[in-house]
Structure 1
Amino acid sequence: MTKYCDFCNKKLGFMGDGRFELKDGTICHECLVKNGFLTNTDQRKIVDFLKTQTIADIQNLIRDPKKVEEITYKVAPKNHLFSFKKCGFCMQEIGILDASHKLKDGVICGNCTASKALFSDVDGKLMDDFISNKTVADIQDLINNPQELAETKESLTLAKNKTIEAEDKLKIERDNFKKDALKESHFYISNDKRKILIDKTLLSEPRYVDADEIVSYSINEKGHNEHKRHTIARAVTGGIIAGGAGAIIGGTTGGKNNEFIDHLGIIINLTDGSNFEITVLRSKTKSDSFIARGAYSRLNNIISIIDAWKAQTAQPAIKSEADDDIPSQIRKYKSLADEGIITNEEFNLKKKQLLDL
């Protein structure tokens, strides 16, 4: 005999699939799901419970979703093999594999976030970060105030859009910076802008290093001779004081002492005490190969730029004590002239000598 759901009038299967018997009628699987009867519950216990309820009993429960949560938790709690906490809203156990979200003083299960529309129309990660700093009571107040919940979602979305806009602007700036910059791996060196862009990687965000932040640098070279079977490593201090790029590259690098070069880079030290390395060669290469020569050439270009920056910011030469004392010497000779010890002609001659006129 064909049956229909007494709640949605859906025609039910001939074999009884997708239907559940009540005391005086039938309810379909879809109606049970829609109204939360099968949410985080033991289905076998729900079946036994439904057999004791009338159509009117179930209709009364459907009108009060909170009552459905309370009844289903009481009569048909889902038994988890491994559970770690209870939802702070429906009080159902949350299994290890069940969806949940952390709050400041508890957790909320995935079923409650769905039924209470916490994550609808908003970026999931933003809302997840937001509720992680809220208590169960805070979120309950938010749920009880639909307007405040909608405003919160709008605010989170607006903040995200502003962040995206700012990130897009910074990306355009970085792209423009890269156009005329010297590139080495994820490092971009702009001679004109006097900056180094350390571009974004999987482990770090992009940042700029100003030329004035650079204190010094050193060459990090590692190589070996296979027939001697030992490794030679050297770190050579660089900079204007050390003699400049030519002295460094020509005197201590370039593969003259090693048959193979294993690593080549420049370590740049900053005013805040940190440093980073721009690596131009990171694998075993014959020191006289085309690849090695290219690496040394690129390293030399980087050093030349840094040396030029440091030369531009070098302090002017300190004036001699005699130069600083010229006005006092002139006043001394003027006093001698006024006292008649020397003539005015002699004073004027001495004045011209001091002023190099």
Structure 2
Amino acid sequence: MGMFSFKAVCATCSNEVPFINRVAIANKEIVCAKCMKLAGLKREDIISMTSAQVKSAIGRKSESKNEIANFNPTKKIGSYVEFDTDNEKWLVLSSFLGKRDKSTIYKFEDIIHFELLEDGESIASGGLGRALVGGALFGGVGAVVGGVTGNKTSKGVCTSLKVKVTVDDVHNPTVYINLLNTNTKKNGIVYQQHIKYAEECLSMFQLICDKQKKSAAVNQSGAPLSAADEIKKFKSLLDEGIISEEEFNEKKKQLLS
């Protein structure tokens, strides 16, 4: 039965679906609003999927609920994001009261790229195969030297501050950590505190990506990269203009010590 049939059956749960509670997906199939919610998908995401893909998404969402119940964070940044470093997993907390009941759990290895967006403009970024750009290289979690906004001419008010994370998920490749979404004065304590949260997020994600990259290098060669190899790698980033000379010297000093 088509989308405009008075009676239709959901391709995933086989229940009859009222006209106002149905979504047309690929292969002229119909999915009910309840199944779309169970899959954790938006209308624009689900319309190009098959019923098998929707069922798979529902299964992943159900597994995620079980994972959330057993999620034990070892690192928490404000009321925004949590990390389980023992099991190499992380999640974004709900923007309302910082709860994790509707969160999706991701593995460390899912992270591909991340960036800090202020009022829609990218001011710092990093990820697999690249160094953190937008602030000096850091010496530890939450220690981005100089701050991510140090070289940026800024307005007096920030209306939006978020971390965008690209993950290895073809259906939901983008994860946002929304830090600020109202007009906030940059010389105030609220903005300064959330910039610290942002720096800590970037540091944590970069450390995760660097660890994943080193693990891959060990798996491929059977031995970790030497300090000299690491310095050569960052020298190539300097030559390509991806990092500054100051960042290169800081990383070189860190490796040699």
Superposition TM-score tier, normalisation by shorter sequence: 0.3 to 0.5
- Taking CA–CA contacts closer than 8 Å with sequence separation of 6 or more, which of the two structures ends up with the larger relative contact order? 2
TM-score, normalised with respect to structure 1:
0.34
Is the radius of gyration larger for structure 1 or structure 2?
Answer: 1
